[in-house]
Amino acid sequence: MLMESFGYQYTLTPRERVEKFKEWSNYELIVKYANGEFWVLIRFKKIVKPIELKTVMATDLNFDNLILAVFTMNGELVKLKRIKTPLRKILTHRI
């Protein structure tokens, strides 16, 4: 939402976004003035609990396809997916 007050315009963050990050802690406030405009940046941080991994995903991007492979932690293949891509046409096309 764009607001105007005392001749200045500012944007308010939607309520849903504020609610989503309200549990995070803020640790830095940066205010910048450039080209007649103020920019405000608030940095947040959140401590997360590491989880025990069950699978790992590997990706392989080639000229003709993208391959996605999911493995268990002991190396067993769970799923393999190949997606065709037009990269060869894009990268070898002459203008």
pTM value > 0.85: no
Strand 25-34 to 8-11 pairing: unpaired
pLDDT at residue 3 tops 60: no
pLDDT tens digit sequence for 13-24: 677 777 777 788
pLDDT, position 51: 92
pLDDT tens digit sequence for 46-93: 888 999 999 999 999 888 899 999 999 999 999 999 999 887 777 776
The rounded distance, in Å, linking the Cα atoms of 17 and 29 is: 18
